[in-house]
Amino acid sequence: MSAKRRRQKDSSFTPALVFLNLLIIGVIALMIFFIYRFITSEDNAASERTTPAPRTSRVVTEIEISEEAEEITTTQIPISMTKAITTTPASVTSSGNENNERIEIKFTEYDPDFFKDDLFIGDSIMTGISGFGFIPAENVYAKVGLNPESLLNTEIDGKTALQKIKDFKPRNIYIMLGTNGLDFMSGEYMAQGLGIFIDDIISFGINSNIIVMTIPPVTEAHDAEGKETMTDINVYNSYLIDMAAEKGCKLVDICSILKNSTGYFSDKYAEQDGLHFLGTAYKAVLGYLQEELQ
Residue from the set 18, 30, 39, 196 that interacts with another protein by CB under 8 A: 30
Site pattern 247..266 for another protein (x: CB under 8 A): --------------------
Using CB under 8 A, which of the segments 40-48, 62-70, 97-105, 187-195 binds another protein? 40-48
From 50-58, 69-77, 78-86, 239-247, give the range in contact with another protein by CB under 8 A: 50-58
Residue 154, interface with another protein (CB under 8 A)? Answer: no
Give per-residue burial for 240-260: e unless 16+ CB within 10 Å, then b. bbebbbebbbbbbbbbbbbbb
Query: Distance between CA 9 and CA 54 in Å, rounded?
Result: 74
CB of 136 to another protein, least distance (A): 9
Query: In terms of Cα–Cα distance, which of 247, 189, 250, 178 is closest to 215?
Result: 178
Which CB, 124 or 229, lies closer to another protein? 124
Query: Of 12, 88, 91, 95, which lies in the binding site for another protein, with binding defined by CB under 8 A?
Result: 12
Binding to another protein by residue 127, rule CB under 8 A? yes
Q: Which one, of 213, 232, 216, 212, lies nearest residue 280 by Cα?
A: 216
Contacts of another protein in 264-293 (CB under 8 A): 271-273, 275-279
Name the nearest CA neighbour of 194 among 183, 184, 185, 206. Answer: 185
Burial of 173 (0-12, 13-18, 19+ CB in 10 A): buried
According to CB under 8 A, which residues from 176 to 195 bind another protein?
none
Reduced DSSP (H G I as helix, E B as strand, rest coil) percent helix, strand, coil of the chain, to 5: 45, 10, 45
Binding-site string for another protein from residue 207 to residue 236, where x marks contact by CB under 8 A and - marks none: ------------------------------
Residue 259 in 3-state DSSP?
strand
The rounded distance, in Å, linking the Cα atoms of 120 and 52 is 29
Q: Does 23 bind another protein (CB under 8 A)?
A: yes
> Which positions touch another protein (CB under 8 A)?
12, 16, 19-20, 23-24, 26-27, 30-31, 34, 37-38, 41, 44-45, 48-49, 52-56, 124-128, 130-133, 137, 144-145, 271-273, 275-279
